[in-house]
Amino acid sequence: MATLPSTEPAQAVVRAATADERQVLEAFLDFLRATVVRKAQGLSEQDVRRRHVPSSTTLAGLVRHLTVVERNWFGRVLTQDQATAPPTEEDAERSFAVGDDDTIESLIAAYEQACAESRRIAARLPLDHEVPHEEIAALSLRWIYIHMIEETARHAGQADILRELTDGATGSVV
C-alpha cells in the first residue's frame, strides 16, 4: 500500500489562521516548499527531467532552482555573506540545469537541507531585521519571506502543471 504524502504543511497553514505574522509567513512558505517536493516525488528520473514546455523548465530543474534561490536569499543576502557574489541573469538560467549525476532524491535532499538552513538563519532574527542590498538599498526579513512565498508559489504552480502533464496527477497533496 502506498504511503500518502503528509498533509502537515497544509494543516499548519490552517492552524496559523489566527497566529502571529511570523507563524503565518513560515506556515505558507513551508506549505509551498512541501508542495514543490511532493510534485517531484514518485516519478522516474526520466519523468522529472521531461520537458513539456518550450523552455528548459523541468520538475527536477525547478527543485534545483529553488535550492539556489533559498541559498541566495537566506544564505547570502540575509547573512550578508560577502564571499558569495550576487547572482547574474546567466546564473539564474543555469540554476535550472540538472547534471547527469543528479537524481531527484539528491535534488530534493539538497532542497530540504537548504530550506532547513533558511529556517535556522531566519529563526534568530526579527521580521524587521534589515540588511543592505545591492539593487534596492535595504530590505527586511519580512520582505524576504514574502518574496520567497511569491517565488516558491510561482514555481509550485509550474510544478503542478508539469506533474499534470507527466502523469495526470493534480492537487496540492500529489
pLDDT above 90 covers a percentage of the chain that reads 76
The hierarchical CATH code for the domain 8-167 is: 1.20.120.450
- Domain regions of the chain by residue span: 8-167
Q: Please write the tens of the pLDDT for every residue from 40-54.
A: 999 999 999 999 999
Q: Dig out the grid coordinates for 125 from the structure.
A: 532574527
Residue 159: what residue type?
A
CB-CB contact of 103 with 45 (8 Å): yes
pTM listed for this prediction: 0.92
Under-70 pLDDT residues of the chain: 1-6, 173-174
- Taking alpha carbons only, the member of 121, 163, 168, 166 closest to residue 145 is 121
